[in-house]
Structure 1
């Protein structure tokens, strides 16, 4: 809330250079702000009494936007990388996929391991579940299973995340 929008009985006023002016009515505070050719901005509405500051509102909004942008820049996004396997995968191929998954996890990403069934492979779903278990066992020093293996259509998948 700025200037005329402030409808409280009394407000605590802070000057443009940060010193406390005191508790007064919003009308008096508005006069002070107009004399300084600045705006009266409510910065702490939940305080008792609410705190208002005499500042340039445009500059205040710009500073808030800049702080928000900086906070967004420091935020870390977690991607989900996918490793696809087939039921008749050989040991060396599995080890290669495990190494790829280790790289993804070390970079801080989650890994979705998908076992794809095609054609008649759907008849042997239960016999091939051990592939995902072996995959998780090979990565247990760096990763933990976040979502257990689950059959979804023609794919069985699980999600691994970094061990903390």
Structure 2
């Protein structure tokens, strides 16, 4: 079967496979090591293609398969994995080192909402100028914040000072459900970042 070797997936096929021997796999073939000429003949007899699927082993592994169907299945699998992936939204909440109780409670309420929706919360204290002298106070504030959110989330990373920011990351707690859940691959990325800021 003729195949255009300029493939999106960069698989070498048929005569483009320039090695002496290959390990052959596939349906309706006896798996084993063959010369490239033998492998090409087997593929040609079945009106299929010889596709190099593992070029970095010795000898390279090749599959006897309809190349177009092979690529179709790869694309289908990629789409299924993408559909199962969950995008993790990270919401940012900013504090000053001397945030008052009213502002603190306002942001605490929003953080509870974010975590309940399944978003992560990245809370940080921004130290402006000489306020960096209050970094211990900022750490206490963030730990208090995490403690007040313990029913909604868990600390993913403890307070860390980076430049003028001290940051803590809080992830939502998994909600128990009686309904069976499908396994989902989680892809972490920060998107739709919502920042609650205060002026000290």
TM-score, length basis structure 2: 0.60
In 2, Cα distance between the equivalents of 1:13 and 1:123? 66
Residue 83 (str. 1) matches residue 93 (str. 2): yes
- Written as runs of structure 1 = structure 2, the 5 A alignment for 1:85-100 is 85-100=95-110
- Written as runs of structure 1 = structure 2, the 5 A alignment for 1:55-74 is 55-74=65-84
Aligned-pair CA distance for 1:63: 2.2
The equivalent of 1:156 in structure 2 is 166
The equivalent of 1:107 in structure 2 is 117
**2:150 counterpart SS class:** coil
Higher share of residues assigned helix = 1
**Which runs of 5 or more structure 1 residues have no equivalent in the other structure?**
none
Residue 52 (str. 1) matches residue 63 (str. 2): yes
| Stretch of structure 1 that moved more, 5-14 or 58-67 | 5-14
In 1, Cα distance between the equivalents of 2:58 and 2:118? 41
Q: Provide, for residues 44-97 of structure 1, a one-character-per-residue CA deviation record: whole Å limited to 9, x for no partner.
A: 77799x5632x3323312321231232123222323321011233332322221
Determine which structure has more spread, i.e. the larger CA radius of gyration: 1
**1:77 counterpart SS class:** strand
In 2, Cα distance between the equivalents of 1:112 and 1:121? 21
In 2, Cα distance between the equivalents of 1:94 and 1:10? 66
Residue 145 (str. 1) matches residue 155 (str. 2): yes
CA-based RMSD: 3.4
User: How many residue pairs are counted as aligned between the two chains?
Assistant: 160
Q: 2:52 touches 2:63 (CA, 8 Å); kept in 1? A: yes
In 2, Cα distance between the equivalents of 1:96 and 1:85? 11
In 2, Cα distance between the equivalents of 1:151 and 1:37? 64
